[in-house]
Amino acid sequence: MTAVMDRDRILDLFRETGAMLEGHFLLSSGKHSDRYFQCALLLEHPRKAETLAQELAQRVRSVHTQPYDVVVGPALGAVTWAYEVARALNCRGLFTERKGEEMELRRGFQIKPTDRVLVVEDVMTTGGSAREVIALLTRMGVRPLATGCIVNRSGGNPFEQDGLPLFALADVNVQAWDPAACPLCKQGSRAIKPGSRPDA
Ligand SMILES: [Zn+2]
């Protein structure tokens, strides 16, 4: 089977649900950006989440024909996403949690070294959270087979050197600037924190 949703269709879903904000944003990194993704606003629609997960599953299956056993993603962002992808792949869906600095598998969740594991994030910004999940799996003697995400804004595959393919539904090049170099600031607008309302 071939992929049925192209990048434009996926970005339309983000626009329709208000999950892709276009404007002038202050990111947690301190940089300013013209776009911000809030996947929770898309994933709050179960049917849409299901459609995206099926699309990802189809792309994974087209390369990895052997069934997966586990999909795992970091809380909180990837909890529902990992669950939906697991449903689409007909396997278990787990999430990891941070306790202080450490990423942990809690609640009695178990992954065996023989399990075929897919690591997912909703938005892959630098791949940092997925990398923490992979490090945790490695400590457990588990070697994941691939990573997956809805939006990849990392500009490539952060796990290429680890030999892990990245299945991304949409690669998006998001511009980010240091405040001093921000063209939107120069035009006179003010950056807002995503999630907060712009000043009237
Ligand atoms: Zn700015």
> What is the distance of C-alpha 13 from the center of its chain?
15
pLDDT average, residue stretch 40-52: 96
For residue 198, pLDDT over 80 is answered with no
Spell out a b/e string for 158-181, using b for 16 or more CB atoms within 10 Å of the CB, else e: bbeeeebebbbbbbbebebbeeee
CA distances from 147 to 17, 21, 44, 117, 158 (A): 25, 25, 22, 9, 10
Cα 195 to ligand 1 centre (Å): 16
| Global confidence as pTM | 0.89
Q: Where are the alpha helices (H) located in 29-115, listed in sequence order?
A: 40-43, 46-63, 79-89
pLDDT for 95-104, tens place per residue? 999 988 899 9
Q: In this model, does residue 200 exceed pLDDT 90?
A: no
- Tell whether the model's pLDDT for residue 3 goes beyond 60: no
Q: Tell me: the pLDDT tens digits for 52-93? A: 999 999 999 999 999 999 999 999 889 999 999 999 999 999
Report CA(150)–ligand 1 centroid distance (Å): 26
194 C-alpha vs ligand 1 centroid, how far in Å?
13
pLDDT for 22 equals 87
Average pLDDT over the chain reads 92
Distance CA 78, CA 81 (A): 5
Report d(CA 167, CA 30) in Å as an integer.
Answer: 28
* 175 Cα: distance to centroid of ligand 1 (angstroms): 11
Residue 152 banded pLDDT, cuts 50, 70, 90: very high
Question: pLDDT band at 113, cuts 50/70/90?
Answer: very high
Ligand 1: centre distance to CA 198 (Å): 13
Task: Compute, in angstroms, the gap from residue 172 CA to the centroid of ligand 1.
Answer: 20
pLDDT above 80 for 4: no
Average pLDDT estimate for 176-185:
95
In terms of pLDDT, which residue wins out, 29 or 42? 42
What is the rounded average pLDDT of the residues 37-42? Answer: 92
CA of 153 to the centre of ligand 1 (A): 19
Ligand 1 mean position, distance from CA 154 (Å): 20
170: nearest Cα among 198, 144, 150, 145 = 150
Do the bridges between strand 92-99 and strand 102-104 make them parallel or antiparallel, or are there none, so unpaired?
antiparallel
Distance (Å, whole) CA 95 – CA 21: 27
